[in-house]
Amino acid sequence: MEGGRMALKVTAAIPLTMAVFYLLLILYFKAKGGYRPAQIVGSGEGAREVKASG
């Protein structure tokens, strides 16, 4: 019975760890200013990203 409880604790730690990291990612992107779409001009080798105005 003891092995089963330990396995459950270890298995429950994985989604908990993932939730913490997702929360940290959300906070990081909010602090950075959120989502900003990239504007790509050109095509192929000459493609480049330009800063969005506004």
The domain total for the chain is: 1
Quick one: average pLDDT of 3-20?
91
| Gap between the Cα atoms of 51 and 39, Å rounded | 7
- Residue 9 above 80 pLDDT? yes
Confidence bin at 46 (pLDDT 50/70/90): confident
**Residues 49/39, Cβ–Cβ less than 8 Å:** yes
Q: Which of 14-18, 39-43, 48-52 has the highest mean pLDDT?
A: 14-18
- Residue 16 above 90 pLDDT? yes
- Residue 54 above 60 pLDDT? no
Quote the domain boundaries for residue 17. Answer: 2-50
